[in-house]
């Protein structure tokens, strides 16, 4: 069964990685970086402040825990534990894939980009969608942000999918911890 899943993952990778053009390469590389998204993150902080004011301190804790859980679980535990080579390092794929930009570290399972972006989308949805339903469009951003990793040849689709699940679970866990902390401290 695992062999079948890996084969499907490889075939889907080759298919999705094949949607490249010289025009899109630098755009996708730009979009996979952190810096272009800083204005969006600042705007999200503004929305948190606008929706919650000073009582939004627990959301800051939730966001910090979310990113800590998602990033550390994928980077510090999963990648060294599973040691699944990124496609750009894997000799089976090195000459048949489209790779653009930096290949990053040797191992890629699971995608920290996917974990972090889906974690952000989830925690924002949990804390802001009651006031701003459009915040749920962040899941589309997370999907596009995650796809850049496949396009650039640094992650298999399975890396991204598992990373997304880790991100969602991390956000849910951080939300519950932060909400409980808020209740204990403020009694509300």
Residue 64 inside a domain? The answer is yes
What pLDDT score was predicted for residue 159?
98
Highest mean predicted confidence (pLDDT) among 15-24, 101-110, 142-151: 142-151
Report which DSSP code applies to 1.
-
pLDDT at 169 exceeding the cut of 90: yes
H helices within 20-111, ranges in order?
24-31, 38-52, 57-72, 79-82
User: For the chain, how many structural domains are there in total?
Assistant: 1
pLDDT tens digits for range 72-128? 999 999 999 999 999 999 999 978 999 998 888 999 999 999 999 999 999 999 999
Residue 6 inside a domain? The answer is no
Number of H helices, E strands in the chain: 8, 0
Residue 24 inside a domain? The answer is no
Residue 32 inside a domain? The answer is no
Q: Considering the chain, what percentage of its residues have pLDDT values greater than 70?
A: 99
What pLDDT score was predicted for residue 188?
58
Global pTM? 0.94
Domain with 97, as residue range(s), is 44-186
What pLDDT score was predicted for residue 104?
84
């Amino acid at each position: 069964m695992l062999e079948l899943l890996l084969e499907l993952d490889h075939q889907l990778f080759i298919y999705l990685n094949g949607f490249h053009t010289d025009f899109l390469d630098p755009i996708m590389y730009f979009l996979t970086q952190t810096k272009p998204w800083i204005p969006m993150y600042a705007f999200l902080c503004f929305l948190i402040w606008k929706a919650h004011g000073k009582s939004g301190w627990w959301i800051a804790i939730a966001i910090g825990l979310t990113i800590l859980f998602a990033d550390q679980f994928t980077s510090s535990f999963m990648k060294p534990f599973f040691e699944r080579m990124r496609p750009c390092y894997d000799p089976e794929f090195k000459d048949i894939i489209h790779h653009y930009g930096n290949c990053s570290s040797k191992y890629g399972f699971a995608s920290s980009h996917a974990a972090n972006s889906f974690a952000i989308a989830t925690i924002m949805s949990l804390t802001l969608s009651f006031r701003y339903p459009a915040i749920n469009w962040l899941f589309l951003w997370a999907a596009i942000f995650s796809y850049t990793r496949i396009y650039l040849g640094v992650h298999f689709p399975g890396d991204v999918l598992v990373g997304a699940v880790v991100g969602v679970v991390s956000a849910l866990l951080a939300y519950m911890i932060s909400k409980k902390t808020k209740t204990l401290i403020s009694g509300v």
